[in-house]
Structure 1
Amino acid sequence: MFDLLSTPPLPRSTPDPSGAALPLLLIGHGSRDSEGRQAFLDLAQAYQALTPHRPVIPCFLELTEPSIAQGIQQCIAQGWQEVVALPLLLFGARHNKFDVTVELDRLQSLYPQLRIHYGGPLGIRVEILQLLRDRLSALLAAQPIKIPNSETVLLFVGRGSSDPEANAETCKLARLLWEGSGFRAVETCFIGITHPRLPMGLERALLWQPRRVIVLPYFLFTGVLVKKIMATLEEHHRLHPEMDWLALPELGIVDTVLQGLHQLEQEARQGQTQMNCHLCKFRLAVSQSAGAQHIHHPHDNATHRSHDHSHSHSHGHHNHSHPAAADPYAQLEDYHQRAWQVP
């Protein structure tokens, strides 16, 4: 069994935000894994306890309940006509830019009196980068066998997205983590959708002929995909017992994430959500379609007015949300053909 660093305990305090109280609709992706679902609900409960000035209402985009619609209905039932909607996602990609906004548009049409302030994803933060550095240092310090960093390869495993900009942000974070680390190399791979996939990432890591490989699954919570990554590592440990295999946990419920939520909530409430969108394929599709129907880009929601998007797309979800479905991106050439397409 390879060593796995335990997730740090829940922080005991975080700043209590000030200003006008608005309910927070905290939106998770959703998971069929009961542990993953509960981890999100636990985070929502922890954030509510640390910021008790207004209700935190957890809901999910898909795969499990409560749904976004049920969350909005709960707000309205409590008498609220204004809400902050915050998708708890690592990077801005299709779910953040399209799927959640389409559902909010649908609900906005049902409840025209409702005003929605939409927030952005966590993105790349100095605090997250430092958290990962600290975890790597703690993991290495705890090892009985001291192997130089120069003989260690870091394998950074992202979720994978059909949004090229989100995939580029994953690679950027991995590179920032590698700089100054002393590790021989960093390889970036993904568990699904885009490429290179995890098997190729492991193969590339082994090409460096390291004595140790550290695998970093970059996820917020455990779930089906994180467990799949760990099962794959167990298999590689059996195939290569001469090597030292280590792994970090998912981010989990830590002060760094809770502080990020606080900042995102305040930015959304004040109409100051910041997103890097100059390479967003949704924005590019709009700018390259002169005379076409305007597709409201979620990044344009700089003011805290209600959603009035005019999407020209249906409200269908990606096949990647359903593991049982055929993978339309399984072959590299298939992904390349679809990467810059909008829904």
Structure 2
Amino acid sequence: MSRAADAVGIGSEETALLVGHGSRRDKSNEAVRELAAGLEDRLGVSTDAAFLELAEPSIPDAIGALAHSSSRITMVPLSLFAAGHVKNDLPLAVKRARSEHPGVTFHAGAHLGIHPAILDLLDDRARDVEAELGVDREDDDVVVVVCARGSSDPDSNADVHKLARLLYEGRSFDRVEAGFIGVTEPLLDEVLHDVAKTRPDAIVVLPYMLGDGVLTGRIRDGAAEFDAEYPYVDAAAGDPLGTDSRLLDVLSDRWQEARTDSVDMSCDTCKYKVELDGYEEDEGGARAMLRALTHQQAHEDRDDVADEPHAHDAPETHLAVCTNQTCAAGGSPAVLESLRQAARDADADVHVTRSSCFDQCGDGPIVAQYPDGVWYGACDDEDADRIVSAVERDRIVSDLVHQTL
């Protein structure tokens, strides 16, 4: 039973906002809305859905609609692990919301993470596959492979291995291994071939995904190809987590943690906060913030490609303009529009977007140029043509440089 299930005395002005990633597939977005509706029933608190990208409403739009009637908004990310979206995008959204809606209290929750309810759900998914294959973990050698998407964040990848170990503990599986469908190693194919050397009776592949999309399909295909190649091992993939009601137990707990300011994040292994071997260039909040800002825009110019739903055809250069209170008072909205017009006039491969505060108040308006890592300070609308021209010539406007990263 979720700790939040017994919550009482919550005022009508409190709102929960379930933040999904967003997809070009309506089915995936509807699943987020379905979970939001279930969470509302569970909490007894008005609950809406918002999306980081690719779907509407965006977080700022959702907050703008809720802020008129809510005195407290708690954002809960529908994210399996803590990678860039949870560590960068959501904090940026909260910071922007607090600046734009000072009369509203905002809280941000943690990712789904590792939770007993999720372990129970995975156990049931494994039993479904065992039944399909006609094996029993009590009598047969059954190996489970938990297959996640894979991330460039080592902390996120480490949690997949932890999840696999916890699924193994106390159960009768022969082994439980972690694998990934992309980005990092070991890849699913590598894990399956390695496990085959021990000649188990069956291999159960569990897609650690929320939705039944392209990546889940790849996992199923990988399991089927392996099954055909190794006739002495039965292998099959199970279903993703979907909208199982046990996810509401986890989301309820994350909501309660957030609204009581008791969120616990793994900062000691966060590549944005500490220097980890192999990830030295990622350490530092400014770099993380730039990546988060530009990633929000990275999907806009790509057509819907069925087998690469998350690939990027992003513009070569992004210009992010701070439009927070201090910079706005200094004329940043005019700078933003002038840059957009200059980019259109020059037909430049540049995307210009607004951002929240860069923590350089008093030195603005600030314009951040990515991926070059150049920040311009004290900009005005007359500088727009110079900045865009410099981008096209792969140069910088030296007299405007505030700092480089």
1:340: which partner in 2?
Answer: none
Equivalent residue runs for 1:6-45 within 5 Å: 15=5, 17-21=7-11, 22-45=14-37
Match of 2:310 among 323, 331, 334: 323
| Identity between Structure 1 and Structure 2 (%) | 34
Equivalent residue runs for 1:67-146 within 5 Å: 67-76=58-67, 78-137=68-127, 139-141=129-131, 143-144=133-134
Indicate the larger mover: 237-246 or 258-267. 237-246
In structure 1, what is the Cα distance between the partners aligned to 2:292 and 2:118?
35
Conserved in 2, the CA contact under 8 Å of 1:156 and 1:216? yes
In structure 1, what is the Cα distance between the partners aligned to 2:147 and 2:105?
37
Provide the alpha-carbon RMSD of the alignment.
3.2
What amino acid is aligned across from residue 212 of structure 1 in structure 2?
A
Q: 1:199 to 1:272 in 2, by over 3 A?
A: same
In structure 1, what is the Cα distance between the partners aligned to 2:137 and 2:71?
58
Displacement of 1:225: 1.4
1:5: which partner in 2?
Answer: none
1:34-85 deviation line (CA, Å, top 9, x unaligned): 322221211112222333x332110111122221122112212x42242101
Q: 1:71 to 1:16 in 2, by over 3 A?
A: farther
Indicate yes or no: 2:192 matched with 1:202.
yes
Equivalent residue runs for 1:1-343 within 5 Å: 15=5, 17-21=7-11, 22-51=14-43, 53-76=44-67, 78-137=68-127, 139-141=129-131, 143-144=133-134, 151-284=141-274, 295=285, 315-317=293-295, 323-325=310-312
In structure 2, what is the Cα distance between the partners aligned to 1:59 and 1:249?
25
Q: 1:144 to 1:74 in 2, by over 3 A?
A: same
Conserved in 2, the CA contact under 8 Å of 1:35 and 1:223? no
Could you say what secondary structure the match of 2:250 adopts? helix
Residue ranges of structure 1 left out of the alignment (5+ in a row) = 1-10, 287-292, 297-309, 327-342
In structure 1, what is the Cα distance between the partners aligned to 2:145 and 2:275?
33
What amino acid is aligned across from residue 196 of structure 1 in structure 2?
P
1:257-309 deviation line (CA, Å, top 9, x unaligned): 111111111111111112232211122159xxxxxx9849xxxxxxxxxxxxx
RCO higher in 1 or 2 (8 Å CA, sep ≥ 6)?
Answer: 1
Could you say what secondary structure the match of 2:177 adopts? strand
Conserved in 1, the CA contact under 8 Å of 2:137 and 2:173? no
In structure 1, what is the Cα distance between the partners aligned to 2:16 and 2:126?
33
1:119-148 deviation line (CA, Å, top 9, x unaligned): 111221123223323443454356545576
TM-score scaled by length of structure 1: 0.75
Q: 1:34 to 1:237 in 2, by over 3 A?
A: farther
Residue ranges of structure 2 left out of the alignment (5+ in a row) = 277-282, 300-307, 314-404
1:1-58 deviation line (CA, Å, top 9, x unaligned): xxxxxxxxxx9xx93522433101110112233322221211112222333x332110
In structure 1, what is the Cα distance between the partners aligned to 2:82 and 2:248?
18
Displacement of 1:158: 1.1
In structure 1, what is the Cα distance between the partners aligned to 2:65 and 2:115?
32
Q: 1:214 to 1:176 in 2, by over 3 A?
A: same
The count of corresponding residues between Structure 1 and Structure 2 is 294
1:337: which partner in 2?
Answer: none
Could you say what secondary structure the match of 2:19 adopts? strand
In structure 2, what is the Cα distance between the partners aligned to 1:192 and 1:251?
19
> Looking at CA atoms only, which structure, 1 or 2, has the larger radius of gyration?
2
